[in-house]
Amino acid sequence: MDITELTVHELQEKLKNKELTIKEITEAYINRINEKEKDVQAFVTELTDEAKKSAEEIQSKVEKGEITGEFAGIPIGIKDNICTKGIKTTCSSRMLENFVSPYDATVMEKINSENMIDLGKLNMDEFAMGGSTEYSYFHPTRNPWNLNKVPGGSSGGSAAAVASNMVPWALGSDTGGSIREPASFCGVVGLKPTYGLVSRYGLVAFASSLDQIGPITKDVQDAAMLLNIIAGHDKKDTTSSDRPKVDYTKALKNDVKGLKIGVPKEFFGEGINEEVKEQLQKAIETYKELGAEVEEFSLDIAQYALATYYIIACAEASSNLGRFDGIRYTYRTKEFKSLKEIYKKSRSEGFGPEVKRRIILGTYVLSSGYYDAYYKKAQQVRTLVMNEFNKGFEKYDVILTPTSPTVAFDIGSKSNNPLEMYLADICTVSVNIAGLPGISIPCGVDKEGMPVGMQLIGNKFSEETILNAAYTFEQKIKFRENHKPEFKK
C-alpha cells in the first residue's frame, strides 16, 4: 500500500482501524517529498522536520487520550499567502522573502485546532497574480503529469503538491481562478467557496472583494471535509457570512436525478480548445446518463467579465500592496538617499514584473479622471454579471463550463505574453466577480494525457449542490483510478 496515494477519508479509516499510525503517515509524506520535490518544486518552505516532531507529539497525545478528533495527525500543505505564525509567509515574493508572520490566519487557527500537521508552505505566482506559478520569485513549479508544463496558478504549488502525493490535501486561494485552474491543470479537485463563506483574515490580500481561501484535494469528499473545517463566520472578517454551519459531506448523495444543469454556450465558443470541448461534451453526456437535465443557455454578459475582473482586481491590488513599502517588514533596498528613494527602489526591486504590471494598471484605473470610465464602470458591469447569474440560477441548479480554455501549457510559452495569460482566466473570473462558489474536477484527459477540468458553478452558498454534482460525476467516471500523473520529463 502506498500511503500517499490515499485520500484523507481513506487515511482516516486506516487510522481508525489502527492499520496506520500518525507517524507512519507523516513519514510516508516526508519520503515522498524527498523523492519528488526536486522534480516538481511545489514548496517554498518545507516543514518536514517540524512535521516529524509534531507527528510524534500528536500521536503520543492521541494514544494517551489527551486529544481526539478525526483530523488529528492528518498532514496538509498551505499556500504561501496564508499567514502562519512563526513560519515564513513569502507570497513567493522577494518583497516578503524573510517575512515571518506574528499571527495565524483564521483558517490556520482552525487547522491547528484540529491538530493537523503542516508539511510546508506552497509555491504560487507572486502575490497570487498569475495562472502558471512561473511568476514565483523563487522558482517555477512543474506539472506532475508533465514536468515541462505549468501546474497552473496561482495556487500551482498547492495543486502540484496534491497531484504528486507530496501532501494529501492543501489550502489554496482563488481571486480569479487561482484554485480551480491549477486543480484543472493538475487533475485534482479545487473548490472556490462563495465569497464570505471562509474568513479572509490572514490571507495576504490581492483583491479583497474577490479573494477566497479554498481546498485543493484528491477527491470531492476530501474537499467537502476540508471545507467543513475552514468555513464559518469570523468576527475578524466583516465580509464573512454568519450563516449557520453545514456538514458538507452530508450533501454527497451520489444522485443527480432531476438536477438542472445549464451550459452557457459562450463558454464553448472561440478560444476554447477542441479537445477540452470534447471532454466537456462527454461530461455532459455522463450527466444526462445520470439523470440530470442539461440545457444550453446564453450567459451573454460573461464576455465582459474578464475586462471587469482585471480592472477591479488590479485596482484593489494597487491599494492592498501599498503596505509593502520598504519601511517595516518587507524587503528594503540597500542604498537610498531619501524617503522617496526607499519607496521607489524597494518596490522596484522587491516586486516582480507581473505584480508591477497590475499595480500600474490598478493605479491608473483609480486615478482621477479615469475612475468613472474604468473602476466605476467595472463595478456597474459587476452588478450586471451578478444579475445575469441570478437569472441563470432561477432556471438551473448548476452551471457547467470548462475550467480553463486549454490544458496545462508549456513552461515559458505564455510568461512573456501577459494578455494571453489573462485569457486563461476567461472561464473562471466571472465566478469571482459574482461571488459564487465554483468547483473544478477532472473530467478526462487530452491526447497527450493531460487532465481536462470541468467547472461547476452554483448559486451563492449552494456549495452542497455543486459538491454533490461533482461527487456523483466523480463516482461515475472514477478519474483517479484510470489516470495518474507520470512525471514525464
Partner 1 sequence: MSRDNYEVIIGLEVHAELSTKTKIFCSCPTEFGAAPNTHVCPICMAMPGTLPVLNEKVVEYAVKAGLATNCEISRDSKNDRKNYFYPDLPKAYQISQFDKPLCEHGYVEIDTDEGKKKIRLTRIHIEEDAGKLNHDDFGGGSLVDLNRAGVPLIEIVSEPDIRSSEEAEKYLRKLKSILEYIEVSDCKMQEGSLRADVNVSVRKKGDTKLGTRTEMKNMNSFKSITRAIEYEVDRQIDVLEDGGIIEQETLRWDDVSGKTFPMRDKEDAQDYRYFPDPDLVAIKLSEEYIENIKKSLPELPESRKQRYLEEYKLSEKDANIITSSKYLSDLFEGAIKICNNPKAVNNWIISDISRILNETEMEPIEIPFDSKQLAKLVMLIDKGTISSSIAKKVLVEMFEHPRDPEDIIDEKGWVQISDEGAIKDVVLKVLEANPQSVADYKGGKDKALGYLVGQAMKETRGKANPQMLNKMFLEELKK
Query: In 3-state terms, what secondary structure has residue 472?
Result: helix
**Extended beta strands in 340-433, E state:** 398-402
Q: Cβ of residue 135: shortest distance to partner 1, in angstroms?
A: 18
Q: Cβ of residue 126: shortest distance to partner 1, in angstroms?
A: 13
Nearer to partner 1, 206 or 287 (CB): 206
Q: Is 415 a catalytic residue?
A: no
Q: Is residue 316 a contact point for partner 1 (CB under 8 A)?
A: yes
Q: Given the residues 36, 54, 79, 101, select the one marked as catalytic.
A: 79
Neighbours of 339 (CB within 10 A): 11
Nearer to partner 1, 236 or 391 (CB): 236
Q: Is 79 a catalytic residue?
A: yes
Q: Given the residues 101, 136, 154, 430, select the one marked as catalytic.
A: 154
Max Cα distance, the chain (Å): 70
Q: How far apart are CA 343 and CA 337, in angstroms?
A: 11
Are 403 and 352 a contacting pair, CB within 8 Å? no
SS3 labels along 177-205? CCCHHHHHHHCCEEEECCCCCECCCCECC
Q: Is residue 323 a contact point for partner 1 (CB under 8 A)?
A: yes
Q: Is residue 237 a contact point for partner 1 (CB under 8 A)?
A: yes
**Distance from CA of residue 331 to its chain's centroid?**
26
Q: Given the residues 92, 178, 240, 241, select the one marked as catalytic.
A: 178
Q: Kindly tell me which residue out of 64, 328, 447, 489 binds partner 1, with binding defined by CB under 8 A.
A: 328
Q: Is residue 119 a contact point for partner 1 (CB under 8 A)?
A: no
Q: Cβ of residue 406: shortest distance to partner 1, in angstroms?
A: 31
Following DSSP, what letter does each residue of 48-109 receive, concatenated? HHHHHHHHHHHHHHHHHTS---TTTT-EEEEETTB--TTSB--TT-GGGTT-B-SS--HHHH
Nearer to partner 1, 212 or 406 (CB): 212
Q: Kindly tell me which residue out of 33, 51, 83, 261 binds partner 1, with binding defined by CB under 8 A.
A: 83
Query: In 3-state terms, what secondary structure has residue 119?
Result: strand
**Extended beta strands in 331-423, E state:** 398-402
Nearer to partner 1, 1 or 339 (CB): 339
Q: Is 235 a catalytic residue?
A: no
Grid cell in block for residue 108? 490556520
Nearer to partner 1, 93 or 415 (CB): 93
**What are the residue numbers of the active site?**
79, 154, 178
* Contact positions vs partner 1 (CB under 8 A): 81-83, 89, 91, 96, 99, 101-103, 105, 200-205, 207-209, 235-239, 315-316, 318-319, 322-325, 327-329, 339, 343, 363, 366-368, 371, 375
